Amino acid sequence: MEHNITLITTVAAGFGFALVLGFIAERLKVPALVGYLLAGILIGPSTPGYVADVDTATQLSEIGVMLLMFGVGLHFSLDDLLSVKRIAVPGAVVQMGLATVLGMALAMWWGWDTGAALIFGLSLSCASTVVLLKALEARGVLETMNGRIAVGWLVVEDLATVLILVLLPPLAGVLAGTAASGEGATELWRAIGTTLLEVAAFIALMLIAGRRVLPWLLAQVARTGSRELFTLAVIAAAIGIAFGAAKLFSVSFALGAFFAGMVMRESEFSHRAAEESLPLRDAFSVLFFVAVGMLFDPAVLVDQPFRVLGVVAIIVVGKTLAAMALVLALRYPLNTALTVAASLAQIGEFSFILAGLGLSLGLLPQEGMSLVLAGALISIALNPFVFAGVAPFSRWMLARSEFARRLEQRQDPYAELPMSTERKYLEGQVVLVGYGRVGRRIAAALDERGIPYVVAEQNREQVEDLRKQGVAAVSGNAADPAVLIQAHVANAAMLVVATPDPVNVRAMAHTARLLNPGIEIVVRTHSEDESRLLQSEHIGTVFFGEEELAKGMSGHVVRRFVPDPA
């Protein structure tokens, strides 16, 4: 009987221990992910007591990988990535390269061969998107420019890692030193070419046919009104496409699920799909981390303490310093460099996937997997403290170092309006803070009516693109008085804050009123409480999203039943 219920016992033990240890981790202000990994260690073969079925846990973890990557795809926005491409793409590629070289150097110093060292270095180079998103959300900086840069940076890392996962199997022979010369080399290049063609065919199929079929399928299921069928459709699409991609195109489960999520994002039901699938994604993600923990041998902490310290040093110190240097070299301010650096001071799910693939291909020794897991556990546990130290460290540096103050006030070529700017943008204009979805619509309405405006936007690349289109724009955080001064708010007719930024909107309003007491101020908010508070403070005209939506809908309904007296 016991043999027949290994799935049930594995799931019960995994969820049970994960719940208890995840709860303890959260109470200790450590990510619950650490608790899930510890749960896997407890029920794994390397610790005494109950041992869960490793093969069953591995299969469950594959489903976890599919749903985890499906969730990443659902939230992947090509527009968000393109908006920070000039820093995220070169930064992520160079930083991954530097971290990989550091990991390889350490592994080769230990006497490992080149293939094992490369897999080990790559595993240390990619940070966890899950850990980052939770850290940014907890601090309310996910929607800020620094948050978007950090997320864009990790999305590039994820995409690069997916490419590595695709190319690793055909290259395994070369990395292991067993590939033959001559005909063997030809076969290798043929295998790589075939793999890339299969991946390209799958991506083309998803982008061309998938973008039409999946949204249509969701729409048909949604019309039935059945919540269960809708959830089933979402999960079936995620797992079915991932499995089909693996069988028909030799693509990894991770890549198949990622593209399923990315294509489903095109549907008008994407938010509902994300919401409905979230509980199942969370559950199987927990099992993924538990299964990974089962592979960890705690003895490595006792047997190889200095190797563990070396791994943690590369992750927390090496990657952090490399990211800081790269961001500063790209002429971004110190606070952006510190935020991105803190974001990368950990490793997570892709590191496990990479190390696991290296282990299955016979490239990475079991010790390497244990060291990667040890580095992940320790770095994830330390990451909240690293993030918490960003603000005080920044203040300490700025107070004591003239060099740090110069780094914080980097000369931005787009921080000032050009000398050739027309007079109409300098007097009686609208100063529009933020050029996101709401800001773009406001700008379009102003363009239609010929009303001059100046955009103040944190995204330097967005400002550069606006300048090329002939739009007057300055880059920087409008909470900084210098930005509004450069936007000529002193002579403006109106300040429109199109970003839901309750923290900085008061600073913007204060600066505007100080320089221009008669200016009209319009702000937006997502929170009803914040809306009431801003109105009580007489900041200006406050627009609350849900309230305006209700007004528009109720107005339409009333007009349908009550004829216009005119």
Within the chain, which residue ranges are assigned CATH 3.40.50.720? 423-561
pLDDT in tens, 501-545: 666 788 888 888 889 988 998 888 877 777 788 778 888 888 887
Q: In whole angstroms, what is the distance from residue 394 CA to residue 381 CA?
A: 22
Average pLDDT over residues 111-122: 90
Segment 163-173 shows an average pLDDT of 78
pLDDT tens for 72-95 read 777 666 666 666 777 888 888 899
Write the pLDDT tens digit of every residue in 338-355: 888 888 888 877 888 888
Residue 183 has pLDDT above 70, yes or no: no
Q: Is residue 180 predicted with pLDDT exceeding 50?
A: no
Amino acid at 264: M
Please report the pLDDT score of residue 169 as a whole number.
79
Of 538, 563, 559, 413, the closest CA to residue 486 belongs to: 413
The set of residues, in sequence order, having a beta carbon less than 8 Å from that of 286 and lying 6+ positions away, is 14, 15, 18, 22, 36, 64
Planar angle of CA 227, 229, 233, nearest 5 degrees: 120
Residue ranges of the chain that CATH labels 1.20.1530.20: 2-45+53-394
Residues 230 and 267 sit within 8 Å (Cβ to Cβ)? no
Mean pLDDT of 253-273: 76
CA distances from 288 to 75, 119, 292, 298, 455 (A): 20, 20, 6, 19, 45
Binning pLDDT at 50, 70 and 90, where does residue 105 land?
very high
Domain 2-45+53-394 fold is Na+/H+ antiporter like fold (1.20.1530)
What confidence score (pLDDT) does residue 76 get?
Answer: 65
Which of 111-120, 131-140, 213-222, 556-565 reaches the highest mean pLDDT?
A: 111-120
Residues 17-51: pLDDT tens digits?
999 999 998 888 777 878 888 898 899 888 888 88
For the chain, the distance separating the N- and C-terminal CA atoms, rounded to the nearest angstrom, is 80
Average pLDDT value for the chain: 81
Examine the pLDDT at 175 and tell me if it is beyond 90: no
The pLDDT of residue 334 is above 50 = yes
Q: What percent of the chain has pLDDT over 90?
A: 11
Query: Averaging pLDDT over each range in 117-121, 349-353, 366-370, which range is the top one?
Result: 117-121
Q: What number does CATH give the domain 423-561? A: 3.40.50.720
Residue 386 has pLDDT above 50, yes or no: yes
pLDDT surpasses 90 at 121:
yes
Classified as helix, coil or strand, 428 is coil
pTM for the whole thing?
A: 0.70
